[in-house]
Structure 1
Amino acid sequence: MLALIGMPRSGTTWVAKAIDSHPKTYYLHEPDSVKRLSIPNIINEQDADEYRQTLSDYMNDIERVDGLKVVGRLPFYPKAYFNGAQLVFNRMSATASKGLGRFFPSLGKAAPLLIKPRGDYEVFFKSIESMGRVSALLKADPDLKVLMLVRHPCAVINSELKGEAANKFASKTPIYENWGLFEKLLFSDTAVQQGLTLEGLKAMTPAERLAWKWRIFYEQMLSQADKPHCMMIQYEELASKPQAGFEKVMAFYGLDMDPQVQQYLIDTTTSHSDAYYATSKDPAKAMHSWKQRLDEDTIQQITAIAGEHLNNEYWSA
């Protein structure tokens, strides 16, 4: 089984659909956002064994998570385990379910009628919920290959603030005032070591709170980066060197650079859309847009908290 773990607004959908474009993969889009895990968002490595069985059972059953959001993420690509008629049927079924969901909301969440894969395929799922659970995931399935995608904190926070301003998120509570989440983050090793408190976070600016959120999740993932079957890669590396970057990703997953993957990279890096959830982005514009949008005070607030992690080839420029 293959996994892509990353923070929201880090390019995870762009990368996930590249993996999905490979003929051997069966993609599940954020299954733990639909069938939620009844375990903490933050699991420190010393506590990982406690959740081994729960996560093992979840992953053994993950293909049963079949809501429209999880299995109906278009476009659908030709697969080695489907013939042409099966692919067309699935495309039409998912498209119809999405269309009907605009008029009948319950259908927008239900599982569409899809032909399931059979034979030789790789289950691949993406998660933006489990950044703090990587150590437990690896304990639950030692053969799981986990790619952790990370992005410059200023880029992530710029996108989060932009999304809040444009009402792009379902929750009416701003992400920088999600005190329930921040309370959970206080159990992380990072928060304990830094002496963070909820009162202290409430006294900070929105950008500072989001910077601490980024740092906590980043350090949770970083602590697992040298484990077998685990790799961390920066969005900026993939955006600046798509061919070489995705060759590295595919090799890690044990997949080849199939022509469909090659075509996906061409299609998504040679056109640009400013739509908030678009996957087609000019790499140079997508990587550095935060430099024009964030004011200097906000950048300084973020880098004061996350700065020790920014001294590398792709983030120090």
Structure 2
Amino acid sequence: MRAWHSRLRKAGRQLLAHGLPAPRPGHRVAVVGLPRSGTSWLAKALSLGPGVSYYFEPDVLLPANPLYRYLPPEADEPVLERALADHLDGRAVDEYVIAEQGLRELLARPRARIVLVKWVRTGLMLEWIGACFPGLSLVQIVRHPVPLFLSWRQRGWDPEFNLRQLLSQRALMAGPLAPFADTMCHAVGFWEQAAAFWGAMTWMQYRAHRPPWLLVEHEWICLDAEPRIRLLAGLLGLPVGDGLAQFLSPRRNRVSGPGYGRARDPAAEVYKWQDAVTAVELDSVAGVLEVFGLPFYPGLEPDRFEVPGSLSARGSQGSRTSTSSNMGS
């Protein structure tokens, strides 16, 4: 009986979504980052404002081979460009994509003037996206590699498979990732492969960053969540919803419904992983990441924010800053 109810509910939602007019957005915002990097939490918080229509991972509808596809900025990909334009116009209404929308949000879609999307598979095509959609407001989120891949391991996700998705792309490995090809090819075991994949994806994300896009560490947001999400919303041109404080509260009563998981203390999330890995495993991660020369998380400390160009490095909210970078362009 419950299965039939679920099927009928999904069918009804699809009829409603396809039957109503799509939004007519005057403003488009994208949240991008690796899976399990805090994109869902941040995007949900940003979506709570009035007039915002939110679409959860419409890039899942794109061809999955390779899962993370590299595109240089000059690439001519009209089919993909039209698909992403549909995402940004709120026209992707697969049930998975609109899962964060309840009945109220679905009925409000035609009146929405802001479309917010969350992408987790576009990290290697951000330069191309910037060239195709120059007016797009975009926030790039990075999470510390250790808790990110502990979450992957809990779900049975294999970093080796994802690393091989990068190694299989000749243009990527002979081009921007050529300096790291040897390290990526010779990574063995869960943590070396995880570090190699994270290093490559984060290097590409940092390389693609350009003003006025926002680059921010997940942990920096978590340590003072409400004012920093309000700051992000303002910089992205998003209204702040009345329910933001309640959504972020570790004592909130609402733990079900579109986009609502278990309540948690955002600040506690920053450190809770530290007893879950050994010193040997941390050394393994650090050894691989040293090759990439990334300025994120010096010494693998989760509360050090010294990335030039990031929101935390602007001196906002009292964070520490740095004036130099190991990154090339």
TM-score range, shorter chain: 0.7 to 0.9
| Matched positions, count | 266
Change (3 A) 1:223 1:125: same
CA distance in 1 between partners of 2:139 and 2:93 (Å): 23
Amino acid at match of 2:121: E
Task: Work out whether 1:311 is the aligned partner of 2:302.
Answer: no
- Kept in 1, the 8 Å contact 2:224–2:267? The answer is no
Among 12, 20, 25, the alignment partner of 2:47 is 20
Among 71, 74, 97, the alignment partner of 1:49 is 74
Task: Work out whether 1:223 is the aligned partner of 2:207.
Answer: yes
Change (3 A) 1:37 1:252: farther
TM-score by length of structure 2 reads 0.71
Task: Work out whether 1:292 is the aligned partner of 2:279.
Answer: no
Q: Normalized per residue, which structure has more helix?
A: 1
CA distance in 2 between partners of 1:278 and 1:231 (Å): 26
Q: Which residue of 2 aligns with 1:111?
A: none
1:70-81 correspondence to structure 2 within 5 Å: 70-73=97-100, 76=102
1:74-223 correspondence to structure 2 within 5 Å: 76=102, 87=104, 115=107, 117-164=109-156, 174-178=158-162, 180-184=164-168, 187-188=172-173, 189=175, 191-196=177-182, 199-201=185-187, 204-223=188-207
* TM-aligned CA deviation for residue 10 of structure 1: 0.9
Task: Work out whether 1:59 is the aligned partner of 2:84.
Answer: yes
- Kept in 2, the 8 Å contact 1:145–1:230? The answer is yes
Q: Which moved more, 1:191-200 or 1:3-12?
A: 191-200
- Kept in 1, the 8 Å contact 2:36–2:152? The answer is yes
Change (3 A) 1:159 1:272: farther
Could you give the per-residue CA deviations for residues 159-208 of structure 1, whole angstroms, max 9, x where no partner exists? 212222xxxx5xxxx3434564142467255531123377523xx12111
CA distance in 2 between partners of 1:305 and 1:132 (Å): 20
Q: Which residue of 2 aligns with 1:81?
A: none
TM-score by length of structure 1 reads 0.73
* TM-aligned CA deviation for residue 271 of structure 1: 5.7
CA distance in 2 between partners of 1:293 and 1:190 (Å): 33
- Kept in 2, the 8 Å contact 1:35–1:65? The answer is no
Change (3 A) 1:38 1:185: closer
Amino acid at match of 2:218: Y
Task: Work out whether 1:4 is the aligned partner of 2:31.
Answer: yes
* TM-aligned CA deviation for residue 279 of structure 1: 5.5
CA distance in 2 between partners of 1:120 and 1:145 (Å): 17
Provide the secondary structure at the position in 1 that maps to 2:63.
coil
Identity rate, percent: 18
- Kept in 2, the 8 Å contact 1:39–1:51? The answer is no
CA distance in 2 between partners of 1:142 and 1:117 (Å): 24
CA distance in 2 between partners of 1:215 and 1:161 (Å): 17
Q: Which runs of 5 or more structure 1 residues have no equivalent in the other structure?
A: 77-85, 91-113
Among 232, 237, 247, the alignment partner of 1:254 is 237
Amino acid at match of 1:24: G
Could you give the per-residue CA deviations for residues 197-253 of structure 1, whole angstroms, max 9, x where no partner exists? 77523xx1211111111011111111132x133111111011101122102210121
Provide the secondary structure at the position in 1 that maps to 2:139.
strand
Change (3 A) 1:292 1:271: farther
Aligned residues: CA RMSD: 3.2
Task: Work out whether 1:232 is the aligned partner of 2:215.
Answer: yes
Change (3 A) 1:38 1:230: farther
* TM-aligned CA deviation for residue 272 of structure 1: 11
Change (3 A) 1:40 1:129: closer
Change (3 A) 1:185 1:233: farther
* TM-aligned CA deviation for residue 280 of structure 1: 2.8
* TM-aligned CA deviation for residue 54 of structure 1: 4.0
* TM-aligned CA deviation for residue 131 of structure 1: 1.2
Change (3 A) 1:198 1:287: closer
CA distance in 2 between partners of 1:272 and 1:200 (Å): 48
Provide the secondary structure at the position in 1 that maps to 2:243.
helix
Provide the secondary structure at the position in 2 that maps to 1:10.
coil
